[in-house]
Chain A
Amino acid sequence: MSSDLLLLLPLLIPLYGALVCLMFWQQEQWQAVMVGLAQIAWMTTIVFLMQRVMAEEVLVTQIGNWPAPFGITLVADIFGALMLLAAAVIGIAVYLFSLQGLDVTRRRFGYYPLLLLLQMGVSGVCLTGDLFNLFVWFEVLLICCFALLSLGGTKGQLEGTLKYVTINFLASGFLLAGVGVMYSLYGALNLAELALMVRQPEHPNLPLLSMASVFFLVGFGIKSAIFPLFFWLPASYHSPPVAISALIAGLVTKVGIYTLIRLFTLIFISDLGFMLPLLAILSGFTMLIGVIGAAAQTDFKKILSFHIISQIGYMLMGLAIYTPLAIAGSVFFIVHNILVKTNLFLISGVVAQRYRTFSLKKLGGVYLHQPVLALLFLLSALSLAGTPPLSGFWGKLMLAKAGLEAGAYTLVGVSLCVSLITLFSMTKIWNEVFWKPKPGNHIPDKDLAPVSLLRLRQLHLPVILLLVVILFIGVYARPLVQLSVRAANGLLHIEKYTETVLSNKTLK
C-alpha cells in the first residue's frame, strides 16, 4: 500500500463507516455490523501504518498534491501511530461492550455513527501536520463527545454535558487565539515549517511566542484536565452510560496531552526555562489533587474519573522533565493508561449491568458471584497503581528514573506517594465492591438485574481482550519501551520530521 493511502485511510474508513451507518438509521443490527467491519478495517490500516512508520520513522502525504508549507499535510510518526494503535484497540473493546452493554434506544439514535466520527477526529489530531487543522480536528472530536455525552438526555447527562460544552468552547476559543498569534508572528501554520522558523538563531518576537504557547497550554490544559483547569472532568465523565464514558475517559484527555507533548517539543521550545518549572509544578499538583479527590469519593465511576486527572499528571511529568527517557516514559504511560482506564470503566459497567448501581455503599459481594470479573479488576487496578510486573510499573519506572537523573527529586517523591494513594484507592474499590458482603443480604438476588449467562460472557469478552493486551505490554514490555524511546527521540530530534515534511515529494 502506498504511504499516501495509508495516511488517508484512518480518516476515510471511520468517515465512510459513519455515512453508511446513517443510511441504516434506526436499524441498529445493520449499524452494528457496519461498525464492526469499520473497526476491524481501521485497526488493520493502523497496524499497517505502524509497520511502515517503524521502518521509515516519518510518513508524509500532501493532500491535493500542493507542496508542503502551502497545502494540507498529513504526517505520521511513531508517537502518533502508537496513539492510534491504542485508540484502535479500545475502539474494538468499546464496540464489543456496546453490543450488550448499551440500551437499544441509544444505539438506535446515533451511537455508532458518533463513535466512528469520534475516531475520525482522533485520527485527524494524531496525523495532522498543520496547526490550524489540529484545531479543526479537535473540534470534530469534541462535537462528537458533546453529542455522545448528552445522548439519551437524562438529567445527570444534561447537566454534565452543559458544563463540558461550556468549558470546552472556552478552551477552543483560546486555541484559536493561539493559532492566530502564531500565524501573525510567522505567516505559517505548517508544524514543520514553524519548527524550523522557531529554531533559527535570532528569530523575532520571543515574548509573543511565549504568549502563544500559554494560549495553547491553557487551551489543551482545559481539554486534558491539568491542575487548575480540571473541575469539569469529574462533573461530566461519570454521567453517561459506560459504553460512552469508557471511550471518552480513556481517549479524549490523552489526546489533549498528546498535542501538548507534540507542540512543546516541536514548536514552543524557545522559552523552556520558564515553561518546564511551570509544567513540573502543574504536573505535581495534578497528580496530587486528582488522587486526593478520588479518596473522598464513594462512587465507582467517580473514583475512576478522579484517577484520570491524577494519571494526566504523570504524563505531564515526562514533558516537564524533558529528557529523552522522560518523554519516552510519558509515551509509554499514555498508551498504558488509555488501555487500563478504559478497561476499568468497562469493568464498572459489567458490575453495574447486574447490580444497577455504581455506589460503593450499595455494592458488595461481587467476588462471590463473579470471581472471574474480580480477578480481571484486580489485575487492571494493580496495573493502574503500578505494581511491578504490570504495565503501569514500567511507565512509572521510566518517569522516576528520568526524574532522578534530572534531579527533580520533589516531583519523583510526589509521584511515588501518589502511586501509593492510588493503590489505596483501588483497594477501597476492591473491598467495597468485590470483597465485603452485600449490604442488606436478606434480599438475595432480588434486586439483581436478570442477566443471562451468555450476555454476561459477552460483556466479559472486551474486558478480557483489553486485559490480555495490558498483560502483554506489562510482562513483555521490551517492544513497547523500545518504541517509546524511539518515539521520544523522534520528538526531540526533529530533523527527520521537518526534512520529510518539507522535502516536497509530490506525486508525479
Chain B
Amino acid sequence: METLLPLMVGTLFAVGLYFILHRHLFKVILGLILFSLATNLFLFVVGGITRGSSAIISEEKSTATEPYADPVPQALLLTAVVIGFGIQSFAIVLIRRVYQTFKSNNLDELRKENEAQ
C-alpha cells in the first residue's frame, strides 16, 4: 500500500491535469473531479497511514502509543471532500448552462462566438 498509493496519487494528478487542459467541456468536469480526488488522496496519504488501529486512546493510558491512527488528516479530508463536492456540483451546473447557452461543448468555439459579438 505504501508504494501503491503514492503512484495512484501521481497518476490521478496527471490524468486530472490532462483532462482540465482539454477543450471538451465534459472532460474538463472529469478533470476537476479527478484532480480533487488526487488532492484528497494526497492529503490522506501524506498524513500517515496506519493499519488496524483506531484513533481512540484507551482509558488507562494518558497518551497515544504507536500504531495510532491520527484523526486530524481524516477530519481535514472530510471537510475537503465536502467542499470539493460543492464546487464540483457548481461546476457541473455551470457547464450545463454553458452548453445550453452556447449550444456547444468546445471551449474554442465559445471564444469565437464571444469575439464575434
Which residues of A pack against B, CB within 8 Å? 132, 136, 139, 142-143, 146-147, 150, 153, 155-156, 158-159, 161-162, 165-166, 169-170, 172-174, 176-177, 179-181, 183-184, 187, 189
Contacts and interface: CB of A to CB of B under 8 A. Distances in A.
Contact of B91 (A156, A169, A174, A187): A169
A103 B38 CA distance: 41
Contacts of B40: 176
Contact of B35 (A161, A169, A189): A169
A427 B117 CA distance: 28
B28 A173 contact: no
23 contacts: A136-B83, A143-B87, A143-B90, A153-B101, A158-B101, A159-B110, A159-B111, A162-B25, A165-B94, A166-B32, A166-B91, A169-B87, A169-B91, A173-B35, A173-B39, A174-B39, A176-B40, A179-B43, A180-B76, A181-B46, A183-B72, A184-B47, A184-B48
Contact of A180 (B70, B73, B107, B110): B73
Interface in B89-104: 90-91, 94-95, 97-98, 101-102
Given A170-B35, A180-B42, A158 B94 contact: yes
A159 B111 CA distance: 8
Nearest to B113: A155
Contacts of B52: none
A180 B43 contact: yes
Contacts of A179: 43, 76
Given A159-B114, A162-B95, A183-B47, A146 B90 contact: yes
B2 to A, nearest CB: 14
A170 B38 CA distance: 11
B79 interface: yes
B15 interface: no
A114 to B, nearest CB: 12
Interface in B56-107: 70, 72-73, 76, 79-80, 83, 86-87, 90-91, 94-95, 97-98, 101-102, 107
Given A169-B91, A177-B42, A180-B46, A159 B98 contact: yes
SS of B interface (majority): helix
Contacts of B35: 169-170, 173
Nearest to B107: A162
B81 to A, nearest CB: 11
B102 A155 contact: yes
B97 A158 contact: yes
A143 B86 contact: yes
Interface in B16-34: 20, 25, 28, 32
A310 to B, nearest CB: 24
A422 to B, nearest CB: 27
A174 B20 CA distance: 14
A155 B114 contact: yes
Given A153-B101, A159-B110, A177 B39 contact: yes
Contacts of A159: 98, 110-111, 114
Contacts of B114: 155-156, 159
A159 B113 CA distance: 10
A183 B98 contact: no
B116 to A, nearest CB: 11
B113 A183 contact: no
Contact of B32 (A143, A169, A180, A187): A169
A181 B45 CA distance: 10
Nearest to A189: B72
Given A162-B94, A176-B80, A179-B76, 4 more contacts: A146-B90, A158-B98, A173-B38, A183-B72
B101 A155 contact: yes
Given A136-B79, A166-B28, A180 B87 contact: no
A123 to B, nearest CB: 18
A158 B98 CA distance: 6
A177 B36 CA distance: 10
A174 B102 CA distance: 31
A136 B32 CA distance: 18
Contacts of A153: 97, 101
Nearest to B102: A155
A165 B87 CA distance: 8
A166 B114 CA distance: 19
Contact of B83 (A139, A156, A177, A181): A139
Contacts of A139: 83, 87
A156 B102 CA distance: 11
